[in-house]
Chains A and B, each alone.
Chain A
């Protein structure tokens, strides 16, 4: 009986979907997520914790905005730009959104070419991703400069509720920091790809573990997450 139950579990552990596979994975000894590289699981768990950080920021923003008796500044007007005589609402934010989505697209393709062991295309696409990310941070710096010149501070602003400035600087600042670290992370991994570390299974400087193209996918997870967070910031902070 016990043997049969064991062999059932063994069979279930080879399935990747269905509740039986979930039960088998969590009740198995030594390794819960079979066939999933540990680095990828660790990145997912880090991203889960980062979700809680950004979730808490957005909830703090919601609480401040819902409970203030002073009108909230109209983001559509605050972030409008006048280009060649026409005032376009939120135009800079829209461009930033498209830039970040494009960087996510190039990153997804870099991961794909990585698993095809196309070293040059992978590195080139990662560098393009880093370039788009740096462009995003540049536009964010422009946006911050513009708002600071217009008198937005964490404790006051000319248009309404004082909490607008503090939530804006906190949320976009934390997101921008993530993008900046992502660009650095991208450049490091792109260099390794270019040098052929993952083809020769060259050992890592800090970890002494053999490198392989999973590093590109793990990098991709982080980058897509940064894009994902922007989707929520765009919806709740800029559009709401």
Chain B
């Protein structure tokens, strides 16, 4: 991210970054996607599988948002306005994990015995 600090945001003329930056990020997205495909190809299991899937996913998402979508150079107020509300999705996910566990427990207790 050396290039990142060298550039001050200048929205008047639009975002100007060297083409090389995009090519490097593009190459990394390819490498990370290949990595997540290999996780499935080699049938990794358990914590290693889920850990690597999440790691590659978050790195890819971070690169796309920060560089391709120029979030790294946006005003901090805009960054917060977009990224902070997204934590609501995580809260919702947490609620639904509890709900799903409860549903599964009910199904196993009352319905699944004959299955």
Chain A interface residues (CB < 8 Å from chain B):
16-19, 21-22, 25-26, 32-37, 41, 44-45, 47-48, 51-52, 55-56, 59, 62-63, 66-70, 76, 88-90, 94, 97-98, 101-102, 104-105, 107-109, 111-112, 114-116, 213-214, 217, 220-221, 224-225, 227-228, 231-232, 234-235, 238-240
The contact of B100 among A19, A67, A88, A97, by CB within 8 Å, is A67
Q: 16 A-B contacts, Cβ less than 8 Å apart? A: A21-B76, A22-B80, A25-B78, A33-B77, A35-B12, A36-B75, A55-B89, A66-B104, A67-B100, A97-B33, A104-B29, A104-B64, A213-B14, A221-B69, A227-B68, A235-B36
The contact of A105 among B29, B56, B77, B89, by CB within 8 Å, is B29
Contact status B77-A66, CB under 8 Å: no
- Whether A37 touches B69, Cβ cut-off 8 Å, given contacts A22-B76, A22-B77, A51-B86, is no
Tell me, yes or no, whether B16 is within 8 Å of chain A by CB.
yes
Chain B interface residues (CB < 8 Å from chain A):
8-9, 11-17, 19, 22-23, 25-26, 29-30, 33, 36-37, 39-41, 43, 50, 53-54, 56-57, 60-61, 64-65, 67-70, 74-78, 80-82, 85-86, 88-89, 92-93, 96-97, 99-101, 103-104, 107-108, 111-112, 115
CA distance A26 to B93 in the complex (A): 29
CA distance A213 to B15 in the complex (A): 11
Which residue of chain B has the shortest Cβ distance to A88 in the bound complex? B41
Which residue of chain A has the shortest Cβ distance to B37 in the bound complex? A94
**Nearest CB of chain B from residue A182's CB, rounded to whole Å:** 14
CA distance A67 to B107 in the complex (A): 8
Which residue of chain A has the shortest Cβ distance to B69 in the bound complex? A224
The contact of B30 among A56, A101, A217, A231, by CB within 8 Å, is A101
Inter-chain contacts of A88 with B (CB < 8 A): 41
Inter-chain contacts of B111 with A (CB < 8 A): 69
Contact status A33-B75, CB under 8 Å: yes
Inter-chain contacts of B16 with A (CB < 8 A): 112, 115-116
Inter-chain contacts of B93 with A (CB < 8 A): 55, 59, 62
CA distance A81 to B17 in the complex (A): 40
Contact status B61-A232, CB under 8 Å: yes
Q: Once A and B bind, how many residue pairs between them come within 8 Å at the CB atom?
A: 174
The contact of A76 among B25, B40, B50, B57, by CB within 8 Å, is B40
Contact status B100-A66, CB under 8 Å: yes
Which residue of chain B has the shortest Cβ distance to A26 in the bound complex? B77
Contact status B37-A44, CB under 8 Å: no
**Nearest CB of chain B from residue A124's CB, rounded to whole Å:** 14
Contact status A67-B76, CB under 8 Å: no
**Nearest CB of chain A from residue B57's CB, rounded to whole Å:** 4
Inter-chain contacts of A227 with B (CB < 8 A): 64, 68
The contact of A90 among B37, B60, B112, by CB within 8 Å, is B37
- Whether A98 touches B89, Cβ cut-off 8 Å, given contacts A44-B82, A69-B108, A217-B70, is no
Contact status A109-B77, CB under 8 Å: no
